[in-house]
Structure 1
């Protein structure tokens, strides 16, 4: 397991610089040819990535190593891809790196999401307009670009995770999307997160 200060969603890329001895050992074990080159990623709720002693979430994502470069000084550079969601059953001792008993956690059945997608697009456009207005008011010449919500996957689960990755969300909202039991609930979480961001931006523009 690799606890991080960020949320990895299924389908997302992940780049890592590995230098801490315990994670160097993790990479070497993953690449020993006796198992799949993958590890679990969970969000650190409290604490830090380096040194241990952190508090971790119970839901994460399986990360498959797609490219590894060994660097001088017992360091690695990794490129990974988030694949499937997982749920922690029990944390094991960190010996020599974080380990857990976990199981894959597939999504439940999804409802038709046509109306939810339309609402989500409206909320995303509203947030971008407010953000651009705020940027202009504060002399920022180039407001952040709007998230493209076109060319979405056809599978409801994949689509909902893709939307969560594209939208301007913080770690708490991304983790809420990851832990939603199905894509319908996930889209509701994303809409609520955008509503909260819109309300905050409207308050800042008063």
Structure 2
């Protein structure tokens, strides 16, 4: 397990600079068995470096796609694959480990397409507005996957939201619940940016 200060969604990239001995050891243990996967969960309280943090109980499996040796660290590129729920934290030595269970994948319904299109338009407009105030990770014109469920997760990830709002999205049980939650959270974020612009 790799607790972070950010949420990883399925179908999203995860670039990491790995330098802590415990996570270097984790990768060393994972890589020979391939494909190398680890769980990513959001830290509730505490720091990313050094351990001892409190963590949320829902996360995403990250599959290692690329690994490069850099000056004093490993540059890792991973991708979120599926959601998990932590059943039990089992060990911290030499790195965090847990028993997990997979959460059911979302199922797409073509009846959601109109709502998805509305939500995508809102997210892109809000990203454009937010870019006037903040440096953002994602451009309003970023491409989404052709797979509708992957695109839905990507929309959740690029929406200009805080980590706790993102965690609420990650917990959604159906595609309909997720698209509605993205719309509502993005609408709230847009109102905040509008107020900042007054």
Q: One fold, TM greater than 0.5?
A: yes
Give the number of aligned pairs.
197
For residue 188 of structure 1, what is the aligned residue in structure 2? 180
Deviation track 1:4-40 (CA, whole Å, cap 9, x = no partner) reads 1111111111121111111111111011x23531111
For residue 101 of structure 2, what is the aligned residue in structure 1? 103
SS in structure 1 at match of 2:59: strand
Deviation of 1:100 (Å):
0.3
Matches within 5 A, 1:13-52: 13-31=13-31, 33-52=32-51
CA distance in 2 between partners of 1:129 and 1:158 (Å) = 22
Runs of 4+ in 1 over 6 A off after TM superposition: 142-145
CA distance in 2 between partners of 1:120 and 1:20 (Å) = 39
For residue 140 of structure 2, what is the aligned residue in structure 1? 147
Matches within 5 A, 1:160-199: 160-199=152-191
Deviation track 1:60-116 (CA, whole Å, cap 9, x = no partner) reads 11111122224566x422121111111111111201100000122132444421231
For residue 74 of structure 2, what is the aligned residue in structure 1? 76
Equivalent residues of 1:147, 1:167 under 8 A apart: no
2:5 is equivalent to residue 12 of structure 1: no
Equivalent residues of 1:107, 1:183 under 8 A apart: no
Equivalent residues of 1:148, 1:166 under 8 A apart: no
For the structure 1 residues 19 and 126, does the alpha-carbon distance in structure 2 shift closer, same or farther, using more than 3 Å as the test?
A: closer
2:7 is equivalent to residue 2 of structure 1: no
Superposed CA RMSD: 2.8
CA distance in 1 between partners of 2:146 and 2:124 (Å) = 22
CA distance in 1 between partners of 2:102 and 2:136 (Å) = 39
SS in structure 2 at match of 1:113: helix
For the structure 1 residues 56 and 129, does the alpha-carbon distance in structure 2 shift closer, same or farther, using more than 3 Å as the test?
A: closer
Deviation track 1:109-144 (CA, whole Å, cap 9, x = no partner) reads 444212312321442355356547xx4xx9x9x999
Equivalent residues of 2:60, 2:82 under 8 A apart: yes
2:189 is equivalent to residue 205 of structure 1: no
Unaligned residue ranges in structure 2 (runs of 5+): none
